[in-house]
């Protein structure tokens, strides 16, 4: 048996056992004149090779590899939002809306679980602007649902310029009068209730 | 298994589950990616550059291949990964060559030649080819070489292969090496046809 055959055999045995053999180390074990031959066979092996059954300790080491960590971070940052994923994620986590509301109430010291559930239902129905969710809430939901970073929905698209032009073409006098009327009513109405912690979580924006 | 999980989540339009399965698939194939980078680029990238290429390849797998992969088998997945790695290695080499040239004054030092860009071809066709190649080539291997390669593909440990075939470790190693050499030759033949 040649050296290349033996070293290749050992490399493959180590691969199959989940021992994570290092290509360079194995190549160094054969004389330089035979390295191309061994490299070519390892190359072919990597096409044929099954993914090894790694022991738990090896999996942990792989997960901590700096190149992998950096790539996962980059992917996380570049991936677009997953609209309407909240109900699917919640169901997969085996949680009802009430369970999530209860967990949020505990975490943030909220007294009104019913209102928290109502906010969650509106969020799942797409009635809330995801851009107004606080980062604290998004982090808490992500943790509860066991996902790296939840993106509950894409922000609404900005108004197209044509929409503004279209409005200006209408009878301006009429809608200006309507706006002034609405503003007058608002000025006379009582000031809205200040936001409580629950409102801030769902409506206060990322920094609330 | 993970690839199957990814495919069924994608079919069900459960994007979060598809991403989770894909991330795990890439994670568990980290060693394959790194080994492929080492073999692919050992003649033209330094160790440090190879680590860059590993990261570039992994990022592209996580961000791009996730959306563009149309195969249904691990054979196709591995082939798509291999092609992506070849591009990543060339891109790292090109990027570093540009930096080197920028740092070196004109007429001073040796210029690294720009590598030729890998030929563009249709991804789907290439992935199908990979699967077709293994299906075509493995039955063409002779007797024990084919048996050993088939068992290796199934992840059967070396000692068990010895026991199942009733042969020594040396015979397994020889058959394995010769089987892979035959496959490499058949690949050349296959690609030439």
Residues of B in contact with A4 (CB under 8 A): 177
Cβ–Cβ below 8 Å for A48 and B172: no
Read off the pLDDT of each residue in A140-167 and give the average, rounded to a whole number: 58
pLDDT at B15: 78
Pick from A70, A48, A6, A194: which is nearest to B184 by CA?
Answer: A48
The yes-or-no verdict on residue A161 having pLDDT over 70 is: no
Tokens of A82: 């997953």
> Is residue A184 situated within a structural domain?
no
A143 and A201 share one domain: yes
The yes-or-no verdict on residue B88 having pLDDT over 70 is: yes
> Is residue A169 situated within a structural domain?
no
Contact at 8 Å (CB) between B56 and B91? yes
> Is residue A168 situated within a structural domain?
no
Residues of A in contact with B12 (CB under 8 A): none
A20 and A71 share one domain: yes
> How far is the alpha carbon of A1 from chain B, nearest alpha carbon, in Å?
7
pLDDT tens column, B132-156:
778 888 999 999 999 999 999 999 9
The yes-or-no verdict on residue A22 having pLDDT over 90 is: yes
pLDDT at B108: 42
Residues of B in contact with A47 (CB under 8 A): 78-79, 82, 130, 134
A198 and A125 share one domain: yes
pLDDT at B113: 44
Tokens of B112: 């690294």
pLDDT at B64: 86
A68: nearest CB among B27, B38, B172: B27
The yes-or-no verdict on residue B63 having pLDDT over 60 is: yes
A207 and A137 share one domain: yes
Read off the pLDDT of each residue in B96-110 and give the average, rounded to a whole number: 55
> How far is the alpha carbon of A147 from chain B, nearest alpha carbon, in Å?
8
Cβ–Cβ below 8 Å for A46 and B54: no
Q: Find the helix packing angle between B30-41 and B15-28, rounded to 10°.
A: 50
Q: What is the overall mean pLDDT for chain A?
A: 83
- Give the ipTM of the model, two decimals please: 0.82
A106 and A198 share one domain: yes
Cβ–Cβ below 8 Å for B157 and A8: no
Look at residues A76, A109, A135 and tell me which one is the last residue of a structural domain. Answer: A76
Residue A116 phi/psi, 5° resolution?
-60, -40
Read off the pLDDT of each residue in B31-58 and give the average, rounded to a whole number: 95
pLDDT tens column, A101-113:
999 999 999 989 9
pLDDT at A153: 45
Look at residues A76, A96, A113 and tell me which one is the last residue of a structural domain. Answer: A76
Pick from A137, A26, A146: which is nearest to A95 by CA?
Answer: A146
The yes-or-no verdict on residue B105 having pLDDT over 60 is: no
A70 and A97 share one domain: no
A201 and A114 share one domain: yes
Mutant choice from B4, B12, B16, B129 vs A, greatest count of A C-beta within 10 A: B16
Read off the pLDDT of each residue in B31-51 and give the average, rounded to a whole number: 95
A66 and A111 share one domain: no
The yes-or-no verdict on residue B11 having pLDDT over 50 is: yes
A100 and A46 share one domain: no
Tokens of A178: 């309507």
pLDDT at B193: 57
Q: Look up tokens 């900005």; give the residue.
A: A158
> Is residue A162 situated within a structural domain?
no
| Inter-chain Cβ pairs, chain A and chain B, closer than 8 A | 147
Mutant choice from A13, A55, A62, A66 vs B, greatest count of B C-beta within 10 A: A13
Which of A40-54, A57-71, A73-87, B69-83 is predicted with the least confidence, judged by mean pLDDT? A73-87
Residues of A in contact with B164 (CB under 8 A): none
B153: nearest CB among A1, A24, A48: A48
> Is residue A159 situated within a structural domain?
no
Residue of B nearest to A42 (CA): B39
B155: nearest CB among A16, A47, A88: A16
What is the percent of chain B where pLDDT is above 90? Answer: 56
Residues of A in contact with B158 (CB under 8 A): 9, 12-13, 16
Which of A100-109, A166-175, B154-163 is predicted with the least confidence, judged by mean pLDDT? A166-175
Structural domain of A72 = 3-76
**Angstrom distance (rounded) from CA A103 to CA A107:** 6
Contact at 8 Å (CB) between B32 and A62? no
B177: nearest CB among A4, A17, A65: A4
Residues of A in contact with B176 (CB under 8 A): 5, 8-9, 12
pLDDT at B27: 96
> Using 50, 70 and 90 to split pLDDT, how confident is the model at B131?
low
The yes-or-no verdict on residue A73 having pLDDT over 70 is: yes
A119 and A198 share one domain: yes
A200 and A138 share one domain: yes
pLDDT at B168: 96
Residues of B in contact with A5 (CB under 8 A): 173-174, 176-178
The yes-or-no verdict on residue A165 having pLDDT over 70 is: no
Look at residues A76, A105, A125 and tell me which one is the last residue of a structural domain. Answer: A76
pLDDT at A159: 40
The yes-or-no verdict on residue A97 having pLDDT over 90 is: yes
pLDDT tens column, A176-207:
777 777 788 777 777 777 889 999 999 988 78
Q: How many domains does chain A have?
A: 2
> Is residue A197 situated within a structural domain?
yes
Global confidence as pTM: 0.64
Instruction: Report the SS3 class of residue B52.
Output: helix
**Angstrom distance (rounded) from CA A188 to CA B129:** 74
**Angstrom distance (rounded) from CA B8 to CA B69:** 14
Mutant choice from B14, B25, B39, B153 vs A, greatest count of A C-beta within 10 A: B39
Cβ–Cβ below 8 Å for A72 and B23: yes
A56 and A98 share one domain: no
Contact at 8 Å (CB) between B75 and B134? yes
pLDDT at A43: 95
**Angstrom distance (rounded) from CA A30 to CA B168:** 22
B32: nearest CB among A6, A49, A79: A49
């Amino acid at each position: 048996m040649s050296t290349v055959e033996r070293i290749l055999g050992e490399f493959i045995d180590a691969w199959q056992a989940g021992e994570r053999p290092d290509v360079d180390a194995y190549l160094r074990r054969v004389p330089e004149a035979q390295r191309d031959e061994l490299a070519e066979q390892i190359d072919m092996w990597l096409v044929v090779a099954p993914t090894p059954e790694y022991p738990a300790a090896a999996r942990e080491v792989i997960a901590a590899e700096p190149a992998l960590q950096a790539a996962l971070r980059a992917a996380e940052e570049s991936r677009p939002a997953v609209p309407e994923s909240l109900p699917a994620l919640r169901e997969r986590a085996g949680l009802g809306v009430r369970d999530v509301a209860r967990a949020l109430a505990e975490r943030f010291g909220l007294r009104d679980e019913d209102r928290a559930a109502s906010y969650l239902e509106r969020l799942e129905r797409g009635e809330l602007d995801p851009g107004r969710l606080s980062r604290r809430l998004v982090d808490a939901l992500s943790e509860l649902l066991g996902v790296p970073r939840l993106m509950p929905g894409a922000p609404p698209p900005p108004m197209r310029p044509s929409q503004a032009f279209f409005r200006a073409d209408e009878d301006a006098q009429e809608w200006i009068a309507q706006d002034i009327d609405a503003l007058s009513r608002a000025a006379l109405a009582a000031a809205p209730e200040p936001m409580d912690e629950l409102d801030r979580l769902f409506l206060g924006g990322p920094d609330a | 298994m993970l690839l199957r999980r990814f495919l069924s989540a994608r079919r069900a339009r459960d994007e979060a589950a598809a991403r989770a399965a894909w991330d795990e698939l890439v994670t568990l194939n980290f060693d394959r990616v790194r080994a492929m980078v080492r073999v692919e680029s050992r003649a033209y990238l330094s160790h440090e550059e190879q680590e860059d290429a590993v990261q570039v390849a992994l990022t592209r797998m996580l961000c791009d291949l996730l959306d563009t992969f149309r195969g249904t088998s691990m054979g196709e997945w591995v082939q798509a990964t291999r092609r992506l790695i070849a591009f990543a290695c060339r891109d790292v080499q090109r990027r570093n060559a540009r930096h080197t040239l920028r740092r070196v004054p004109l007429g001073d030092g040796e210029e690294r030649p720009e590598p030729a860009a890998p030929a563009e071809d249709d991804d789907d066709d290439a992935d199908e080819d990979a699967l077709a190649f293994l299906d075509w080539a493995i039955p063409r291997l002779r007797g024990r070489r084919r048996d050993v390669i088939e068992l290796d593909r199934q992840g059967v440990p070396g000692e068990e292969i010895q026991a199942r075939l009733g042969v020594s470790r040396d015979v397994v190693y020889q058959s394995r090496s010769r089987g892979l050499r035959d496959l490499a030759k058949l690949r050349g033949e296959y690609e030439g046809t």
